[in-house]
Amino acid sequence: MINAQAQCAMCKQAAASSLDNNQNSMAKGLNTGILYLMAVPYILIAIIFRKQIVALYKSWRGKPASDEAL
């Protein structure tokens, strides 16, 4: 699991004290939520620009880009 350090001061303090008391606490859910919110924009951009990304990848490999349906 990746440790996310993108928390406000109050959230960080509450999560740290909660994590000290119980390993399966709100801190684990808070960090998972932060990672989820951080990943969604990148996934959406990859989905929107998938044809351009594939064409760029194929041009790097030396294959001509075609209009194949993805």
Tokens of 6: 């993108």
The predicted model gives 3-13 an average pLDDT of 63
Structure tokens at 23: 């390993």
The residue extents of the domains of the chain are: 9-61
pTM of the model: 0.49
The sign of the dihedral angle between the CA atoms of 18, 19, 21, 25 is positive
Rounded CA-CA distance 48/54 in Å is: 12
pLDDT of residue 64: 61
- What are 10-50's pLDDT values in tens digits? 766 777 777 666 767 677 777 788 888 889 999 999 999 99
Contact 4/38 with Cβ under 8 angstroms? yes
Letter for the amino acid at 6?
A
